[in-house]
Amino acid sequence: MWSSAAETAVVNGRRAAAPVAVSSLGAPAEEAVRFSSGSAEVDRVLGGGLVSGAVLLLAGEPGIGKSTLVLQLLDGIVAEGRRPLLVTGEESLGQVSLRAMRLGIDAARLRALASSSLEATLSAAADERPDVLVVDSIQTLHGESAEHAPGSVVQVRDCSAALIRYAKATGAVVVLVGHVTKDGSVAGPKTLEHLVDVVLALDGERTGTLRLLRSVKNRFGSCDETGVLTMGENGLEPVPDPSALLLADRREGVAGSVVFPSLEGTRPVLVELQALVAKADTPQARRVAIGLDARRVALLLGVLDGRAETSFAQQDVFSAAAGGIAVKEPAADLALCLALHSARHGRPVPDDLVAMGEIGLGGEVRRVPGVARRLAEARRFGFRRALVPRGVEDVARGIEVTTVSDLATALSYCE
């Protein structure tokens, strides 16, 4: 039975100290508004923009472009008529100004504080009252209440909790920049990802120019969108047509090259998967994967040997996703196997062919999501044939679709 807030609550026979006010959920509160970040790609990933009172975690490897992206976001937020505040614990204000000049940003429009103190950060935020507070990075921040070094589990947890309380109390958006460890997880306690509202991951090959901004967690929108950016002289710039960029330098008629229609969120992207097989000059054959999961490549080499009679013994195997993009989805298995088989025997795969499908340990080709969107993107770039798993025959027009149930059948189709 429901009681009013004015009534005294009784729990387990004990009288509560004060009444608890419970309200119904109706329209969003006036202060819970969504506004643009100033970047169309970031807004796309966030599901429409920033939500006041939200706490975001921007994670990525060192040198991937997190600080550059943050500085560009601050400039865009100023252009939207809102007040940002940058707290940097890794760089001096002079170093931040130099980066702003290189990016063509008017540093005089931005407000910044060079400090690694939690107390100084909260004091500056109370004085400035920003709409967006950016802390770069959370691993450099430390509070006086905890006698631990900056970056330790205790400091990261306590400082994050204090900033989360500040965001919920004031309605300001708090952006925490975090580094990624060697195993790919966010440095600091894993619970940090559970405490924040949004987790954004900036991925890409550091030696390349392409960057992918993915939403790992989003309490205010979908996690299916991916922003595609390229690193240039003016910072991170959006890529309107990623497929055209990735296929611009593709050579036709080369063995070991297969195009895979990747699905980055809801956006299809055509990626060229390349393989090269050479005679090993050492007792231990090398297995090198760039932009691909090395463990996945090793697994597929085993399946090719055991299920398709394609041995790579005493052979060095090099595989890569061309263009600097990182391909992580299992749907690339079939295309990668075709590329490896093609490189092993020196026979090119037809240039107008795309392939997709997950490969099981039994050699079976398993279904993958979003086949229709993948094939529509392939058709837009002139591809006329596709190898897909069974059960997805009528998914696209204008492209010849061939379904395969096992890896051996798919390989024989390309011979």
Q: What percent of the chain has pLDDT over 90?
A: 70
Residues 121-150, mean pLDDT to the nearest whole number: 93
Residues 238-253, mean pLDDT to the nearest whole number: 92
Mean pLDDT score across all residues of the chain: 88
Residues 50-74, mean pLDDT to the nearest whole number: 94
Of 259 and 204, more confident: 259
Residues 160-186, mean pLDDT to the nearest whole number: 86
CA 252 to chain centre: 30
d(CA 388, CA 353): 11
d(CA 218, CA 226): 13
Confidence at 192, pLDDT banded by 50, 70, 90: confident
Residues 237-260, mean pLDDT to the nearest whole number: 94
Which string of b and e fits 160-176 if b means at least 16 CB within 10 Å?
bebbbebbeebbbbbbb
Of 1 and 305, more confident: 305
Of 360 and 191, more confident: 360
- Residues 315-339: tens digit of each pLDDT: 999 999 998 888 989 999 999 999 9
- Residues 256-310: tens digit of each pLDDT: 999 999 998 888 999 999 999 999 988 899 999 999 999 999 999 999 999 999 9
Confidence at 10, pLDDT banded by 50, 70, 90: very low
Res. 394: pLDDT tops 70:
no
Question: Rounded to 5 degrees, what are φ and ψ at 311?
Answer: -95, 145
- Residues 70-90: tens digit of each pLDDT: 999 999 999 999 999 999 998
Lowest mean pLDDT among 71-85, 140-154, 158-172: 140-154
Res. 121: pLDDT tops 80:
yes
- Residues 334-383: tens digit of each pLDDT: 999 999 999 999 999 999 999 999 999 999 999 999 999 999 999 999 99
Q: Which residues contact 323 (CB under 8 A, 6 or more apart)?
A: 208, 210, 245, 246, 249, 271, 272
d(CA 310, CA 412): 12
d(CA 406, CA 296): 18
Confidence at 1, pLDDT banded by 50, 70, 90: very low
pLDDT on residue 19: 65
Residue among 377, 287, 365 nearest 330 (CA):
365
d(CA 225, CA 372): 17
Residues 86-108, mean pLDDT to the nearest whole number: 94
With the C-alpha atoms ordered 267, 45, 35, 89, is the resulting torsion angle positive or negative?
Answer: negative
Residue among 56, 34, 30 nearest 133 (CA):
56
Q: Domains (ranges, CATH) in the chain?
A: 34-240 (3.40.50.300), 245-413 (3.30.230.10)
Q: Which residues contact 91 (CB under 8 A, 6 or more apart)?
A: 67, 99, 114, 136
d(CA 262, CA 236): 22
Let me know if 15 is exposed, middle or buried by CB neighbors in 10 A (0-12, 13-18, 19+): exposed
pLDDT on residue 326: 85
Confidence at 6, pLDDT banded by 50, 70, 90: very low
Quote the pTM value. Answer: 0.81
Q: How many CB atoms lie within 10 A of CB 222?
A: 13
Residue with tokens 């107390």: 119
Beta pairing, strands 315-321 & 267-279 = antiparallel
Residues 307 and 318: beta-carbon distance below 8 Å: no
pLDDT on residue 184: 54
Q: What percent of the chain has pLDDT over 70?
A: 88
pLDDT on residue 11: 44
- Sequence-ordered strand ranges (E) for 284-370: 287-290, 315-321, 353-355, 358-359, 365-366
